[in-house]
Chain A
Amino acid sequence: MADTGQVLVEHKFFSDLEEAFRPLVGGCAKMIIFEAGQYLFHDGDPAEWFYLVRYGRVALEVVAPGRATLTFQTIGESDVLGMFWLMPQSHWTHDARALELTHAIAINANCLRQKCERDHDLGYDLMKRFVPILLRRLESAQLQMLDVYGHSK
């Protein structure tokens, strides 16, 4: 298997990660593969990992009794999955299921949070990477919620 630190910078999200931070982040990371149909995690699970998708596609789903499973977002190549790691002791509020064979880098949240506490430069670097993703997700969710295609054009 390829070196984790190397794979990390091959991913778009960390491609410009400073040399000094690479072993820090890499030390918390592992390579992981999900078969099509396999769940990355379930609703209610502790949010202990987040994922950088290398190849494949993951559906984020919610299930309500008596209703079909609803996919509200798909995560694909070079995307990041899971923002909950930023908050200690939080839980996933949806399922994540691989739609096809998916290769990902899983990063342990607890491990990375501790390193950020010790090295605020690393923490600040990660904040700058994650905040735009959070805001884009929020914007996307807002558009989906507006149901713009519903009864306007």
Chain B
Amino acid sequence: MAIQNELTATLPITDPMLPRLTRVLVRRREGPETLTLELEAGAAAPAFLPGQFNMLYAFGIGEVAISMSGDPAVADRLVHTIRAVGETSTALTRLEAGDHVGVRGPFGAGWPMEAAYGCDVIVVAGGLGLAPLRPALYRILAERERYGKVVLLYGTRSPTDILYRHELERWRRRLDVQIEVTVDYANGPWHGHVGSVTTLIRRTDFDPLHGIAMVCGPETMMRVTALALKEAGLKEDAIYLSMERNMKCAIGFCGHCQFGPHFICKDGPVLRYDRLGDLLRLKEI
């Protein structure tokens, strides 16, 4: 019996699980366990939105979701910053320039770039959470006049863990963006802040009534950050978090990434805080 769904009847059969094959162009070390791969985008690669992610496949090992971390205006390459934490991510970090990698994507809902027009933008990154925020920063800086005050508050473990250091230094020289970096501890020559990223929020001036926050980092960090932003006067619907869960398919079929009613892969990864708030307080959701 025919399917009770007119939507699919006209669609051609394509397989969203089938990756495109591409090659590593550049491999760059970022930190002790972290490196950035630049992949050939190829003609088939669709444009991506800041905050989206790709599924990267390492031969014989598996697939893993990795955020887009490059400039959305640069169409010829896909930039991914990867930390070797599991089998697949470790295999990916071992790839050399010229090696093959499978790519599916981009997937998911990105940062509210248009909703933030005319607003002060508070970007709060924790650790590797800077990677999915970098495309948003590129975009904001490319159309700087569309946004109000722009602040990046970046917390990480120690000065040696700072991602994209040269870029941050270059941006810091601009007069139209405020960049504050804080570390949990410093044991070398460090003249930046030491302390949690929440202390930076309390020291930052912005217009809470016309402000929007984009937050990405470990969940614990995002929870306290969202609270600090609320205390600073931001409304819950002006705070956006990029969530992470186990993902096998990225297209809403495998069920792994569910977070309450949300599929992180297709409803997220960027989700508005007012839609998450209660769930974030519960354990093991």
Cα A104 to Cα B114 in complex, Å, equals 43
| A87 / chain B contacts, CB cutoff of 8 Å | none
Closest B-chain residue to A60, C-beta based?
A: B194
**Closest beta carbon of chain B to A34's beta carbon, Å:** 15
A147 touches B157 (CB 8 A): yes
A139 touches B126 (CB 8 A): no
Q: How large is the interface on A (under 10, 10 to 19, 20 to 34, 35 or more residues)?
A: 20 to 34
Interface residue B166 (Cβ < 8 Å from any Cβ of A): no
B244 touches A149 (CB 8 A): no
Of the stretches A1-9, A22-30, A43-51, A71-79, the one at the interface is: A71-79
Q: How large is the interface on B (under 10, 10 to 19, 20 to 34, 35 or more residues)?
A: 20 to 34
| B156 / chain A contacts, CB cutoff of 8 Å | 149
A-B contact count (CB 8 A): 86
Cα A46 to Cα B194 in complex, Å, equals 24
Interface residue B52 (Cβ < 8 Å from any Cβ of A): no
| B140 / chain A contacts, CB cutoff of 8 Å | none
- CB < 8 Å neighbour of A140 from B187, B192, B195: B195
Closest B-chain residue to A100, C-beta based?
A: B191
**Closest beta carbon of chain A to B220's beta carbon, Å:** 5
Interface residue A67 (Cβ < 8 Å from any Cβ of B): yes
| B190 / chain A contacts, CB cutoff of 8 Å | 71
Consensus secondary structure, chain A interface = loop
Q: In the complex where A136-B202, A144-B196 touch, is A70 in contact with B186 (Cβ < 8 A)?
A: yes
Interface residues of A in 29-76 (CB under 8 A from B): 57, 59-60, 67-74, 76
Interface residues of B in 202-219 (CB under 8 A from A): 202-203, 217-219
Interface residue B102 (Cβ < 8 Å from any Cβ of A): no
8 interchain pairs, CB-CB under 8 A: A70-B187, A74-B193, A77-B203, A99-B191, A144-B185, A149-B184, A149-B221, A153-B126
| Interface residues, chain A, with chain B CB atoms under 8 Å away | 57, 59-60, 67-74, 76-79, 99-100, 136, 139-140, 143-144, 146-153
Which 5 A-B pairs have CB atoms at the shortest separation, nearest pair first? Answer: A149-B127, A140-B196, A143-B196, A71-B186, A68-B187
**10 additional contacts (CB under 8 A) given A68-B187, A73-B194, A149-B156:** A67-B187, A70-B185, A70-B186, A136-B199, A140-B196, A143-B220, A149-B217, A149-B218, A152-B218, A153-B83
